[in-house]
Chains A and B, each alone.
Chain A
Amino acid sequence: MTMGTPTDEELVIATRSGEGEAFDALYRRYSGKLYSYLLRLTGDRATAEDLLQDVFLAVLRDRGFDLRAGGFGAWLFTVARRRALNAARGAQRHQRRVRALAEPDETAPRPPSPEAATSQRELVLGGLATLSEVHRDALVLKEVAGLTYREIAAVQEVPEGTAKSRLHHAIQSLRALLRPEGETTP
């Protein structure tokens, strides 16, 4: 390990060789970002907590990824996205089965009115729920995970320009909710 701040890749190698402090450092570096990302994708805390552990263990076990090439963060969120979407789809299937047994209900999410939302946080989270999955994903990958456009494109398996336009759309949509009419330019 180098004398300065260790890289993600160095921490992964050290963790695999049994250095508990390296794992702690890796966890500190990514747990908040990863948990927030998983929480926004799944919408359920217990699921996000389980997935956080599963994703960490999965990337530590998977020695097929070439750590020398870097890009650990993008890889981590790629694994997280796949698992979260699988979990979310499983949950949706379950909800559909439950809903089929009950009375039909409104399914499309609606943005909360500013009067109804008691805080900026609720307003943001309510607005986030109105975005499509790919737009929400791009926004969280950028603002929470701190990935670059190129890394977001790699995670979403789309061209870089697509990732960029998704992010722009997500930000503009949310800003339209957060600010009164005419204040959101650009």
Chain B
Amino acid sequence: MTTTTTTCSDVQDQLIDYRFGELDPPARRAVAAHLAECGACAVAYCRLDADVAGIGAALHEEPPAHVHAALKARVEAEFRPPLLRRVRAFLNRRIPVYQGALATAGVIAAVLLVTPSPPASPPLPASAPAVDLTAHDAPEVRELLDDYDASSVPALDPYLL
């Protein structure tokens, strides 16, 4: 089968390059146009694509995880960041919330333990001996009642007003 400018033979010679994206844009467009029209070449391309993909899958393998750990340790030992950046990273490191809360509680507990307790307050003076107000004849009661006027306005502390 032929298209205006591209034959099946031309296309089949270019299929590997087309598969790998190695054709220049005009050639790529020509092959794509031919594949859209020619069933035989399209089937050939699909087979090629499947074979190459199968080869690639068979060849690919990831290294074991321990290789990454070993190599990273060597890289970190050899390419250490400057001291200033290490300090900044240490200060900016992410700390879980519960760790912050625990640290705060610890600091508060430490402060409470270290802070000296205030001196014991002096003992309150012994209260004055109670006066028996029912004993009207007693001199202490008489002294209190002499100036008492039940009808007068009680004197209020101006600071309370």
A79 within 8 Å of B (CB atoms) = no
Q: Chain B nearest CB: distance from A29 CB in Å?
A: 13
Contact partners of A175 in chain B: CB under 8 A = 48, 51
How would you classify the secondary structure of chain A's contact residues: helix, strand, loop or mixed? helix
A20 within 8 Å of B (CB atoms) = yes
How would you classify the secondary structure of chain B's contact residues: helix, strand, loop or mixed? helix
Q: Which of B54, B72, B74, B80 contacts A178 (CB 8 A)?
A: B54
A60-B75, A121-B58, A125-B58 are known contacts. Are A27 and B51 too (CB-CB below 8 A)? Answer: no
Name A37-96 residues within 8 Å CB distance of B: 39-40, 48-49, 52-53, 56-57, 60-61
- What is the size category of the interface that chain A forms with chain B? 35 or more
Contact partners of B67 in chain A: CB under 8 A = 31, 35, 49, 52-53
Stretch touching chain A among B11-19, B112-120, B139-147: B11-19
- Report yes or no: B79 in contact with A124, Cβ–Cβ below 8 A: no
B97 within 8 Å of A (CB atoms) = no
Task: Give Cα distance in the complex from A47 to B82, angstroms.
Answer: 34
- Report yes or no: A15 in contact with B44, Cβ–Cβ below 8 A: no
- Report yes or no: B52 in contact with A171, Cβ–Cβ below 8 A: yes
A residues neighboring B (CB under 8 Å): 15-20, 23-24, 27, 31-33, 35-36, 39-40, 48-49, 52-53, 56-57, 60-61, 120-121, 123-125, 128, 139-140, 142-144, 148-149, 164, 167-168, 171, 174-175, 178-179, 183-186
